[in-house]
């Protein structure tokens, strides 16, 4: 079936949410970071989810949305300052609304159970990257019968081109129709189709991983890299921007290796990026080579870890994992 309408609505939602996030991030100062003040990401998280769920509610009122946030924290009497800031940021992008409306939009994203058709959103994927003014993403995906059919990543700080100073891209994919990139700040630009790298030589392969060691096992990544003969150091960046980098052919490998027993990945941390890599010609599995399953509610209960590659290097990488103790 055609997803032209779903894509149009999702693009508008992600673009507007990215604008809100940029506005909040531009106001972060060094003093706040020194105090480990997380209020900017809290405001941006809520405002971003409100924007996206508002658009989805208007266009697809019966579609559930599985998201990372709900409005419970905002409704607490001691958090009125957050609500004021969220309301202000929404007004700045033309959304003038009451507190009840804002909470209602946010709570549209509080579903947790599987449905035959639903959306999943991470309003700010990569919160520490956001606070450092580095990489983060607004991630959105439509899942139908357990399959990702539409996926988007808004990456406000990702360069438009390798050689360009311009930043801010929307990466998107529709199943069976390829992967595309649009610059955020050029309304006249045409979508550019992208494909993964064709590099099959481990010695010249590039890989990326999470900045935070709590998100992936850096030690195992280093051992795998050494055994495969990868010469370049890992590029560390936050968020699903790593999927964007692999899908655009700027890296061949993204490894999210388990750091503790029993941890289950959340679907909103991956759905937006998985289809982008796959439709660009790449491959995404868990550490055992199984496709990721998005029909178990808000968690990837049938999977462990995530490996995304350009394809030619995938099997060699999977074979290496148990040899270095990843299981």
Stretch (H or E) spanning 137: strand 137-144
Residue with tokens 């409306």: 101
Cβ-based burial of 317 (10 A; exposed 0-12, middle 13-18, buried ≥19): buried
The strands making up 137-144's β-sheet, listed across from edge to edge, are: 65-67, 117-125, 137-144, 147-159, 167-174, 179-183, 192-194
Distance in angstroms (rounded) separating the CA atoms of residues 157 and 155: 6
**Catalytic-labelled residue, pool 42, 120, 127, 309:** 127
Distance in angstroms (rounded) separating the CA atoms of residues 179 and 193: 6
Which residues make beta-bridge pairs with 67? 121
For residue 307, which of 214, 242, 261 has the smallest C-alpha distance?
Answer: 242
**Catalytic-labelled residue, pool 45, 70, 107, 125:** 45
How far does CA 39 lie from the centroid of its chain?
21
State how far the alpha carbon of 181 is from the alpha carbons of 20, 84, 93, 154, 170, in Å.
20, 34, 23, 10, 6
Residue 214 neighbours by CB under 8 Å, 6+ apart: 259
Helix pair angle (218-228, 314-323), 10° resolution: 120
Instruction: Say whether 42 is catalytic.
Output: no
The stretches of the chain forming alpha helices (DSSP H) are 4-25, 30-34, 39-59, 72-75, 80-92, 99-107, 127-131, 218-228, 241-247, 271-279, 314-323
Instruction: Say whether 45 is catalytic.
Output: yes
Query: Radius of gyration of the chain from Cα atoms?
Result: 19
Residues annotated as catalytic are: 45, 127
């Amino acid at each position: 079936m055609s997803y032209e309408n779903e894509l149009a609505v999702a693009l508008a939602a992600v673009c507007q949410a990215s604008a809100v996030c940029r506005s909040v991030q531009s106001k972060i100062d060094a003093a706040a970071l020194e105090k480990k003040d997380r209020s900017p990401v809290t405001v941006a998280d809520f405002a971003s989810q409100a924007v996206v769920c508002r658009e989805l509610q208007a266009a697809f009122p019966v579609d559930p949305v599985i998201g990372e946030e709900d409005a419970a924290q905002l409704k607490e009497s001691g958090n009125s300052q957050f609500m004021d800031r969220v309301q202000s940021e929404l007004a700045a992008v033309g959304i003038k609304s009451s507190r009840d409306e804002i909470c209602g939009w946010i709570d549209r994203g509080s579903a947790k159970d599987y449905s035959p058709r639903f959306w999943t959103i991470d309003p700010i994927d990569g919160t520490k990257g956001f606070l450092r003014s580095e990489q983060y993403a607004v991630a959105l995906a439509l899942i139908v019968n357990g399959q990702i059919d539409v996926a988007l990543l808004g990456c406000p700080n990702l360069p438009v081109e390798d050689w360009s100073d311009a930043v801010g891209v929307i990466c998107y994919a529709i199943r069976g129709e390829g992967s595309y990139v649009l610059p955020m700040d050029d309304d006249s630009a045409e979508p550019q189709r992208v494909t993964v790298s064709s590099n099959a030589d481990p010695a010249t392969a590039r890989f990326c991983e999470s900045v935070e060691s709590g998100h992936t096992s850096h030690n195992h990544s280093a051992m795998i890299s050494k055994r495969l003969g990868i010469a370049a150091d890992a590029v560390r960046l936050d968020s699903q921007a790593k999927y964007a980098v692999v899908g655009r052919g700027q890296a061949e490998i993204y490894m999210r290796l388990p750091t503790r027993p029993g941890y289950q990945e959340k679907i909103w941390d991956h759905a937006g990026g998985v289809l982008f890599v796959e439709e660009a010609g790449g491959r995404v599995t868990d550490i055992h080579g199984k496709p990721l399953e998005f029909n178990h509610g808000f968690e990837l209960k049938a999977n462990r870890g995530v490996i995304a590659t350009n394809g030619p290097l995938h099997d060699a990488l999977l074979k290496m994992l148990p040899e270095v103790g990843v299981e």
